[in-house]
Chain A
């Protein structure tokens, strides 16, 4: 019933070659084939955002992308950006502000927030609370009510803008 496809890609900087079922989505590939459990399955309808990962530098819904389509591409997950320290300031802010409760949405939320703040250090402008809320609205959090998340992202944006601490490397 299933067809296997050979793919070679980069995941968190490591070269990976695998044969995958054609129907296997990226999150199942990361979790079941590579053991990278940090990306969560929340709805598999592309709505909740818990499975947000980066493909070629842009955030995507991992549950809406087939692994077989990623030959030659580059994937980054929460484990990867944690190891490189790229979003350390955001992670510190989430911890300090209690912007994560059960933690299930958090990896996706962080990657989405990181995209919003990517250019703050270069442009010298940081998004407003309303813009932060708008940008994060593809990522559902059922625990926090969002206020603390917005606070944390806002604080990191301001810090990066002023370059006072933990600016983008």
Chain B
């Protein structure tokens, strides 16, 4: 390859990679001219409302839909039985998660409802309002069964088995062990331990789950307009289970109102919509309302973790020992499975630190609650809270400053590549440098001095740290090896049009992260055109290269590299034509800002538009054998490392009111290392948004349940999402350690904020409470829990 872009050189022509540029698709969004699924209206479109189980666990008896069908505008009522004939069931397991089991699932259940909120019948009407009216008139005779709600007793003998055919409520169990943990604890100078809880929470995408399915009986094609992060995965799933060839299914994503992992899963009610469209041969729309979002969007992070850490006499961490228990609801979620979160926890605990002995066990059990699955930063916030909670306890036990203790135990920046005791392979990380930058940014000494002064006045301020690692750029080791048809590879097609405009179609998708913006920057630079002439296409299985979509922080690192390589190839193709037109060696030419130039002098020889005119309209004037392929496709997949790990560190400064238990966030800092930064403006806001989602879980968000398995949060009044007034300003800093796996060198950045924030908040609260000798380890850290910790109110 004669053309190589070196993103490391700062002063390069036509440079867009690394610049803070606004997003090309932002203007339409601020004018309200975006187009989300619910904005689509097509002729003869019908609407679905679901009848949902009011019980956590109940046998479905007779379903009487006669009153519903009597309402004007109601067309059909579908039961599980009606849809089962048109859709094959799925079982959400992955082969590499050894021993994992789950029950078969259909769009609507046949005999038993297993969580309150599960869709059990679908009403189709000519408006959503009428469909809802009718759904309320569907009468079902329920036989209520005892629910399994407490994960601690889910495996006990007297506890009912949710799916009798599975034999028990155990989904998956794994112990990740290396070194000699028993010996390390026996010979430890200090042992610290705690039991941590991560509160079950959910994503609350402001745009609810949305799907519009159209089946054309004329050519047997299924068109799906879907709020999903992974259109090709959904195409695979719908084709397979609706018994259609892949080529008959098209999944289109226009604008998507937030995803955060919530919209990367297969939801039975959404599959039901596709099946209904196929049966009826009419377009069918379903948009969840907020109540059904709480009761049917995936939940996440319902974990209890017992953790302990051993330290030797030199103050070095020698071992982590973790016992994780998680309840995932009644089914593992298809096709990524609900065991991945627990699996991540046992892979990630202790991640930033240099220690020899490791044991982490996860036990994944069923419950009659909303199914859980991957939500932004999957497992990371849990693993980081456990790790960093123990690290702070360790520093305290030794009487050391938490920063000093971390600096002593972090993996040193010059020791890579290396493999962690948990078996994670790190190509290159910057924990020490990042912590150094963070401490400078926050004026750590100044804050400590201020803390001491204020303590004398009865003001309880705390400073909390959290170092973390984040898994990005996943290879097929994440899902593919387990049998899931989820692409780890991604592709990009770049095309030069006659006037010199460039179109780039990519398999990675946009839900607000800025995917289209970074692909545009990369392609503009790689081809050598002004950025304004580049248009990016995402989210259409028919017109983009096959790919995985956007999840697990793969958009920039994998989709970005494919775009870079496709852009370079397209430029080379243009220069080959230019060489023939200008009687010059292609290597002596370059393409800069839309002009063919002499590489040596920069002198403009010809506009790209002239080349486009000749190729497309006067190809007869070119040498007959000359290739004129102004459209090139390249794919990229990581090969050397299963994942490109990133790292970072966060700090929280906050104040606890010991009379009310309320926490006031004063400031938050994050230094992260996502490798090459393509657009600092976008990376910073990914980090900030992620931090606030992490803070939400740490302080407010909680899907609470009654003992009967009733979800007791049903609106945004009782499920608290962070608001502007209670969030702090967040300062973001960067260290750049590019991955050498790609020319671009980019890793992911979207989950770093969420990974570290809860741990930083927890440590800051416990630092603030130090004069009271009180600590909290159960998220969310509500006023009640804080007051209980300091003995102001009874513990519950």
Beyond A40-B257, A96-B22, A106-B30, is A129–B36 a contact (Cβ under 8 Å)? no
Beyond A104-B257, A145-B730, is A45–B290 a contact (Cβ under 8 Å)? yes
**Could you tell me which residues of chain B, from 493 to 540, have a CB within 8 Å of some CB in chain A?**
511-514
Q: Within 8 Å of chain A (Cβ to Cβ): is B98? A: no
Residues in B neighbouring A35, C-beta threshold 8 A? 41
**The residue from A44, A100, A142 contacting B260, defined by CB atoms under 8 A apart:** A142
Bound form: Cα–Cα A94–B28 in Å = 12
The reply to whether A103 and B715 contact each other, CB–CB distance below 8 Å, is no
Beyond A37-B35, A137-B724, is A103–B30 a contact (Cβ under 8 Å)? yes
Q: Smallest distance from the beta carbon of A101 to chain B beta carbons, Å? A: 3
Q: Within 8 Å of chain B (Cβ to Cβ): is A65? A: no
Beyond A44-B290, A102-B258, A140-B716, is A95–B32 a contact (Cβ under 8 Å)? no
**The residue from B38, B259, B691 contacting A145, defined by CB atoms under 8 A apart:** B691
Q: Within 8 Å of chain B (Cβ to Cβ): is A43? A: yes
Q: Within 8 Å of chain B (Cβ to Cβ): is A69? A: no
The reply to whether B32 and A150 contact each other, CB–CB distance below 8 Å, is no
Residues in A neighbouring B690, C-beta threshold 8 A? 145
Q: Within 8 Å of chain B (Cβ to Cβ): is A55? A: no
Bound form: Cα–Cα A39–B34 in Å = 11
Q: Within 8 Å of chain B (Cβ to Cβ): is A77? A: yes
Q: Within 8 Å of chain A (Cβ to Cβ): is B723? A: yes
Question: Is chain A's binding surface mostly helix, strand, loop or mixed?
Answer: loop
Bound form: Cα–Cα A45–B753 in Å = 29
Q: Within 8 Å of chain B (Cβ to Cβ): is A47? A: yes
The reply to whether B716 and A45 contact each other, CB–CB distance below 8 Å, is yes
Complex: chain B residue closest to A144, CB-CB: B689
**Could you tell me which residues of chain B, from 12 to 55, have a CB within 8 Å of some CB in chain A?**
22-23, 26-36, 38-39, 41
The reply to whether A94 and B511 contact each other, CB–CB distance below 8 Å, is no
**Could you tell me which residues of chain B, from 201 to 233, have a CB within 8 Å of some CB in chain A?**
203-208
Q: Smallest distance from the beta carbon of B529 to chain A beta carbons, Å? A: 22
Residues in B neighbouring A103, C-beta threshold 8 A? 26, 28-30, 34, 255, 257, 512
Q: Within 8 Å of chain A (Cβ to Cβ): is B629? A: no
Q: Within 8 Å of chain A (Cβ to Cβ): is B721? A: yes
The reply to whether A147 and B688 contact each other, CB–CB distance below 8 Å, is yes
The reply to whether B724 and A146 contact each other, CB–CB distance below 8 Å, is yes
Beyond A98-B26, A149-B724, is A41–B38 a contact (Cβ under 8 Å)? yes
The reply to whether B724 and A143 contact each other, CB–CB distance below 8 Å, is no
Complex: chain B residue closest to A152, CB-CB: B30
The reply to whether A129 and B729 contact each other, CB–CB distance below 8 Å, is yes
The reply to whether A1 and B133 contact each other, CB–CB distance below 8 Å, is yes
Beyond A102-B512, A145-B688, is A38–B727 a contact (Cβ under 8 Å)? no
**The residue from A77, A91, A130 contacting B30, defined by CB atoms under 8 A apart:** A91
Beyond A44-B289, A101-B685, is A145–B692 a contact (Cβ under 8 Å)? yes
Q: Within 8 Å of chain B (Cβ to Cβ): is A19? A: no
Q: Smallest distance from the beta carbon of B694 to chain A beta carbons, Å? A: 10
Q: Within 8 Å of chain B (Cβ to Cβ): is A79? A: yes
Q: Within 8 Å of chain A (Cβ to Cβ): is B393? A: no
Report, as a range, how many residues of chain A touch the other chain. Answer: 35 or more
Residues in A neighbouring B722, C-beta threshold 8 A? 145-146
Residues in B neighbouring A107, C-beta threshold 8 A? 30, 32
Per-residue 0/1 for A34-75: is the Cβ within 8 Å of any B Cβ (1 yes, 0 no)? 010111111111011010000000000000000000000000
Bound form: Cα–Cα A141–B688 in Å = 12
Bound form: Cα–Cα A91–B260 in Å = 25
**The residue from A40, A95, A105, A145 contacting B727, defined by CB atoms under 8 A apart:** A145
Beyond A79-B31, A95-B23, A145-B730, is A102–B721 a contact (Cβ under 8 Å)? no
Complex: chain B residue closest to A140, CB-CB: B721
Bound form: Cα–Cα A94–B25 in Å = 12
Q: Within 8 Å of chain A (Cβ to Cβ): is B449? A: no
Residues in B neighbouring A104, C-beta threshold 8 A? 36, 205-207, 257-258
Q: Within 8 Å of chain A (Cβ to Cβ): is B693? A: yes
Q: Within 8 Å of chain B (Cβ to Cβ): is A78? A: yes
Bound form: Cα–Cα A4–B370 in Å = 39
Per-residue 0/1 for B246-258: is the Cβ within 8 Å of any A Cβ (1 yes, 0 no)? 0000000001111
**Could you tell me which residues of chain B, from 299 to 339, have a CB within 8 Å of some CB in chain A?**
none
Q: Within 8 Å of chain A (Cβ to Cβ): is B129? A: yes
The reply to whether A77 and B32 contact each other, CB–CB distance below 8 Å, is yes
**The residue from B33, B129, B259, B723 contacting A23, defined by CB atoms under 8 A apart:** B129
Per-residue 0/1 for B673-693: is the Cβ within 8 Å of any A Cβ (1 yes, 0 no)? 000000001101100111111
The reply to whether B206 and A147 contact each other, CB–CB distance below 8 Å, is no
Bound form: Cα–Cα A161–B260 in Å = 37
Bound form: Cα–Cα A145–B686 in Å = 9
A/B pair count, beta carbons within 8 Å: 181
Residues in B neighbouring A117, C-beta threshold 8 A? none
Bound form: Cα–Cα A5–B613 in Å = 60
Complex: chain A residue closest to B38, CB-CB: A41
Per-residue 0/1 for A103-134: is the Cβ within 8 Å of any B Cβ (1 yes, 0 no)? 11111001000000000000000000110111
Q: Within 8 Å of chain B (Cβ to Cβ): is A82? A: yes
Complex: chain A residue closest to B206, CB-CB: A104
Q: Smallest distance from the beta carbon of B425 to chain A beta carbons, Å? A: 31
Q: Smallest distance from the beta carbon of A107 to chain B beta carbons, Å? A: 4
Beyond A45-B716, A98-B514, is A133–B724 a contact (Cβ under 8 Å)? yes
Q: Smallest distance from the beta carbon of A78 to chain B beta carbons, Å? A: 3
Q: Smallest distance from the beta carbon of B392 to chain A beta carbons, Å? A: 24
Q: Within 8 Å of chain A (Cβ to Cβ): is B725? A: yes
**Could you tell me which residues of chain A, from 5 to 51, have a CB within 8 Å of some CB in chain B?**
21, 23, 28, 31, 35, 37-45, 47-48, 50
Q: Within 8 Å of chain A (Cβ to Cβ): is B717? A: yes
Per-residue 0/1 for A85-100: is the Cβ within 8 Å of any B Cβ (1 yes, 0 no)? 0000001001111101
The reply to whether A78 and B32 contact each other, CB–CB distance below 8 Å, is yes
The reply to whether A45 and B207 contact each other, CB–CB distance below 8 Å, is no
Residues in B neighbouring A144, C-beta threshold 8 A? 685, 688-689, 692
Q: Smallest distance from the beta carbon of B678 to chain A beta carbons, Å? A: 13
Residues in A neighbouring B692, C-beta threshold 8 A? 144-146
Complex: chain A residue closest to B257, CB-CB: A104
Bound form: Cα–Cα A74–B86 in Å = 50
Q: Smallest distance from the beta carbon of A34 to chain B beta carbons, Å? A: 12
Residues in B neighbouring A91, C-beta threshold 8 A? 27, 30-31
Residues in A neighbouring B133, C-beta threshold 8 A? 1
The reply to whether B204 and A136 contact each other, CB–CB distance below 8 Å, is no
Beyond A142-B260, A145-B691, is A101–B514 a contact (Cβ under 8 Å)? yes
**The residue from B23, B206, B256, B715 contacting A98, defined by CB atoms under 8 A apart:** B23
The reply to whether B512 and A101 contact each other, CB–CB distance below 8 Å, is yes
Q: Within 8 Å of chain B (Cβ to Cβ): is A148? A: yes
Residues in B neighbouring A1, C-beta threshold 8 A? 71, 133
Bound form: Cα–Cα A148–B133 in Å = 42
Q: Smallest distance from the beta carbon of A75 to chain B beta carbons, Å? A: 14
Q: Smallest distance from the beta carbon of B212 to chain A beta carbons, Å? A: 14
Residues in B neighbouring A147, C-beta threshold 8 A? 685, 688, 727, 729-730
Bound form: Cα–Cα A30–B463 in Å = 48
Beyond A37-B35, A102-B512, is A95–B685 a contact (Cβ under 8 Å)? no
Q: Smallest distance from the beta carbon of A70 to chain B beta carbons, Å? A: 19
**The residue from A37, A106, A110 contacting B39, defined by CB atoms under 8 A apart:** A37
Q: Smallest distance from the beta carbon of B442 to chain A beta carbons, Å? A: 16
The reply to whether B725 and A133 contact each other, CB–CB distance below 8 Å, is yes
Residues in A neighbouring B260, C-beta threshold 8 A? 142
Q: Smallest distance from the beta carbon of B47 to chain A beta carbons, Å? A: 11
**The residue from A38, A48, A138 contacting B33, defined by CB atoms under 8 A apart:** A38
Bound form: Cα–Cα A105–B722 in Å = 14
Bound form: Cα–Cα A136–B722 in Å = 12
Residues in A neighbouring B724, C-beta threshold 8 A? 132-134, 136-137, 139, 141, 146, 149-150
- What are 14 residue pairs bridging A and B, where the CB atoms are less than 8 Å apart in the complex? A35-B41, A39-B32, A44-B290, A48-B290, A98-B22, A100-B512, A101-B685, A105-B206, A137-B726, A142-B203, A143-B689, A145-B690, A145-B727, A150-B724
Rank and list the top 10 A-B pairs by shortest CB-CB distance, nearest first: A38-B32, A103-B29, A102-B512, A104-B257, A78-B32, A145-B692, A101-B512, A145-B688, A47-B716, A37-B39
Given contacts A94-B26, A144-B688, 4 further A-B contacts (CB under 8 A): A23-B129, A137-B724, A142-B260, A147-B727
